[in-house]
């Protein structure tokens, strides 16, 4: 017996071909099938960017104090720096936010880190801490892992925020450690965000260079975007 699947197969094909020719449809080829994934499906670049962004934002939330969990970067220069750090961190350089108390420096700094996370970078690792906390880790006995471990950890983390730099007089040891930290990040082109109540430079009065020393200030001045925050003390207004 012939196989059931082949009974009349050739005749059936011939009849179909004749019907198509009678209707003028012979020779029509099927069009391309669009089976590419949509932005909501695995395989689409936007889908994977969103997944990276979700993961990065969870890391950002872990590193961000509760007070700044709603922080967003609204200053155009800060937005531009954050976008550059997200797309090509090697050429972003440092971001220095200066200004008096309560002008929103820390808010903008955490907002910049959030904007980078929302871009969905391929790698997102961040440490955010105040300068006094950083110096406490660097001093002997300040960390169970030892000061050298802490200095190298801050050197190598892809994203680093140092808040309130210049608020205290640093010792010879912490000045050397700070210089090593900034110099390493400068040489390896790793992004850094610094906030300070002191200006980068001024015709008179204390400056960041006066407090930190010329070597450290020199490293901060190179490949650094300086954003001066102005305005009234927002904390007093909120109170």
Q: For residue 162, give both structure tokens.
A: 């140092």
Burial class (CB in 10 A: 0-12, 13-18, 19+), 59: middle
Round to whole Å and give the CA distance between 135 and 118. Answer: 30
- H, E, C per residue of 61-129: HHHCCHHHCCCCCCCHHHHHHHHHHHHCHHHCCEEEEECCCCCCHHHHHHHHHHHHHHCCCCCCCEEEE
What pLDDT score was predicted for residue 234?
60
What mean pLDDT is predicted for residues 183-199? 94
For residues 140 and 175, the answer to whether their CB atoms sit within 8 Å is no
Give the range among 21-25, 74-78, 135-139 with minimum mean pLDDT. 21-25
Q: Which residue has the higher pLDDT, 165 or 28?
A: 165
At residue 222's C-alpha, the angle toward residues 120 and 77, to 5°, is 45
Residue 70 tokens read as 């709603």
pLDDT class for 164, splitting at 50, 70, 90? very high
Confidence category of residue 239, pLDDT binned at 50, 70, 90: very low
């Amino acid at each position: 017996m012939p196989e059931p699947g082949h009974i009349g197969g050739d005749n059936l094909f011939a009849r179909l071909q004749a019907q198509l020719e009678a209707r003028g449809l012979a020779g029509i080829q099927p069009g391309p099938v669009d089976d590419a994934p949509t932005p909501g499906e695995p395989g689409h670049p936007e889908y994977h960017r969103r997944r990276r962004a979700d993961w990065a934002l969870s890391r950002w939330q872990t590193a961000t104090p509760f007070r700044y969990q709603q922080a967003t970067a609204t200053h155009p220069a800060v937005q531009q720096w954050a976008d550059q750090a997200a797309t090509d961190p090697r050429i972003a350089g440092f971001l220095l936010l200066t200004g008096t108390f309560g002008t929103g420096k820390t808010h903008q700094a955490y907002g910049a880190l959030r904007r980078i996370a929302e871009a969905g970078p391929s790698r997102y690792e961040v440490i955010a801490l105040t300068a006094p906390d950083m110096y406490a880790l660097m001093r002997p006995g300040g960390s169970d892992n030892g000061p050298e471990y802490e200095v190298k950890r801050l050197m190598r983390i892809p994203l680093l925020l140092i808040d309130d730099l210049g608020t205290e007089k640093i010792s010879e040891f912490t000045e050397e450690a700070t210089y090593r930290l900034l110099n390493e990040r400068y040489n390896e082109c790793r992004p850094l965000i610094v906030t300070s109540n002191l200006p980068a430079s001024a015709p008179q009065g204390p400056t960041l260079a006066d407090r930190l020393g010329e070597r450290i200030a020199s490293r901060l001045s190179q490949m650094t975007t300086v954003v001066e925050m102005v305005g009234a003390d927002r904390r007093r207004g909120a109170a």
